[in-house]
Structure 1
Amino acid sequence: MSRTRLRPVDLAREHGISTQAVRNYEEAGILPPAERTPHGYRVFTPLHAAALRVFTALVPAHGYHQATAIMRAVNEGATEDALELIDAGHAGLLDDRRTLAAVERALRDLAPPEPDPDESRSMFVGELARRLGIRPATLRKWERAGLVRPRREPGTGYRVYGPTDVRDAQLVRQLRLGGYVFSQIAPLLDQVRTAGGVAPLRGALDDWRARLARRGLAMLAAAAELHDFLTEQGRTPAPPHGGRAGDTLTPSGPDRSPAPR
């Protein structure tokens, strides 16, 4: 890297941040330690500018705190630790994709609950159990599992199921009949509650999928920035046996099978 001297404002302008933010990033370990002039002013270089570009690429991919941890590891020379943090981010994205797929599968098996003739009316456990064709003990089991959340009537302590609780109980019953276990039902109900119902959730799935796609693309962009940064510092391992990066290796070296004629 060139030793060209840069001011905090030079780094700040490129990313639309304040000069104080640049100083804070250096103090937080996001940027490599800056040398100081005899008067105590920080001396930044293109190395710091490149590190800041990597960090701003990592944030939309991994989040601020994880991006900070990655850059600290990089600046401390702990490249393996940084790669492990990146691997964890990819694993988290894969888990999110699997959760989305599970929700989509469950919704395909889920019919919207029948509307209550009087949506403002609440029910006690016995009435709701009769409506669903189950035993009151089953509703209480669902409550212990966190799948339904009735309130308690003051004074008596009786369970009172409002319209939202009735909807949740209906959804649990449908999913249980479809063979879903509690651990599969719980995250789906969380999504339904967040979206405000089944119908809004169906529309929200497209937004969820788009967010995951943007995050995946951001991870690719951040990986490219980080790879270039490490390469310029000579901190990427050479391919084994002197091969080129990307070569497919067998125990005896690169594949040299004859091309088909």
Structure 2
Amino acid sequence: MFRPIDIARKIGVSTSALRHYEDWGIVPKVRRNEKGYRIYTELHVAYFECIRAMSPGFGMKLIRDIMPYIQQKEIAKALWMVSEVQAKLYNENKKVGKALELLEKDQVEEMEEKSPMKKKKWYSISEAADAIGVANSTLRHWEKEDLIVPERDQYSGYRLYSASDLRKLLIIRTLQNAVYSLDIVREVLAEMDHHNISEAIKITRESLEYLDYLIKQQLRGMSYLYHLCELVERESPA
């Protein structure tokens, strides 16, 4: 049996945080002794440690989603949800890597000449959104935030995006996914407008470094999750 204060100190949280985890239903129900004190078991400790270890790499939303399934011994279902998050991180790493490769071209003319996006001069909002992998509504939102201002067809009024606009959109998406503020995004775009992409390259590299950090944190969290799943599967039915 373990005291709340001992567990809290071990994993680096307050005892109130342990109670929050209980209230959220992401740890098994806790019995109390005759004096009303909580009685934590080895299994509870494994849950608490797993939650803390997974938080940096996966976030609390996923943790709150999967822990009820683990308590119900639906281990595979929880693991597939974790796998989906890891797949998204892999895909994001590929996208940011492509953005960095595009930015590191020596000259804008070279980028326009070799870019697969350079198939025609103008792109509709749907074509631009498809090219960088976002929804049309996302481009409208960025326009509302003054991050990008496309040309308009003089007759139809439809938005028209150039190859240069597509590069900017790619950078905006990369920075947004890296959880940078809109003010920083605007500063980077301003530097690009002045043909100074060094800051954009710097931030994109930092984004890749952050993704490298996340994948290591996910690996660490998975080791605790594996230990927890082993304990749960060995646990006798209630």
TM-score by structure 2 length? 0.65
CA distance in 1: counterparts of 2:144 and 2:20, whole angstroms: 48
CA distance in 2: counterparts of 1:20 and 1:150, whole angstroms: 42
- Of residues 30, 37, 40, the one that matches 1:34 is 30
Render the CA deviation track for 1:177-226: whole Å, top value 9, x for unaligned. xxxxx5x7633244477262233110012211111111111111111111
Q: CA RMSD, aligned part only?
A: 3.7
* Matched ranges for 1:1-261 at <5 A: 5-109=1-105, 111=107, 146=139, 149=143, 173-175=162-164, 186-191=169-174, 194=185, 196-197=187-188, 198-234=197-233
The number of residue pairs the alignment matches comes to 190
Instruction: Report the CA distance between 1:70 and its aligned residue.
Output: 2.1
- The answer on whether the counterparts of 1:61 and 1:218 sit within 8 Å (CA) in structure 2 is yes
Render the CA deviation track for 1:16-60: whole Å, top value 9, x for unaligned. 221111111122122221112244432111211111111111111
Relative contact order (C-alpha < 8 Å, sep 6+): which is higher?
A: 2
CA distance in 1: counterparts of 2:85 and 2:172, whole angstroms: 25
Question: CA, structure 1 residues 109+21, in 2 after alignment: closer, same or farther (shift >3 Å)?
Answer: same
Matched AA of 1:12: A
- The answer on whether the counterparts of 1:60 and 1:218 sit within 8 Å (CA) in structure 2 is yes
Identical pairs, percent? 20
Matched AA of 1:228: H
**Which structure 1 residue ranges, 5 or more long, are not aligned?**
114-133, 152-161, 177-181, 237-261
Between Structure 1 and Structure 2, whose CA radius of gyration is higher? 1
Question: CA, structure 1 residues 19+35, in 2 after alignment: closer, same or farther (shift >3 Å)?
Answer: same
Question: CA, structure 1 residues 98+139, in 2 after alignment: closer, same or farther (shift >3 Å)?
Answer: closer
- Alignment partner of 1:196: what SS? helix
Instruction: Report the CA distance between 1:110 and its aligned residue.
Output: 7.2
What does residue 180 of structure 2 align with?
none
- The answer on whether the counterparts of 1:6 and 1:45 sit within 8 Å (CA) in structure 2 is yes
Which structure has greater helix proportion? Answer: 2
Matched AA of 1:82: A
Matched AA of 1:204: I
**Which structure 2 residue ranges, 5 or more long, are not aligned?**
110-119, 130-135, 152-160, 176-183, 189-196
Matched AA of 1:96: E
Matched AA of 2:12: G
What does residue 252 of structure 1 align with?
none
Render the CA deviation track for 1:119-155: whole Å, top value 9, x for unaligned. xxxxxxxxxxxxxxx99xx59969996388489xxxx
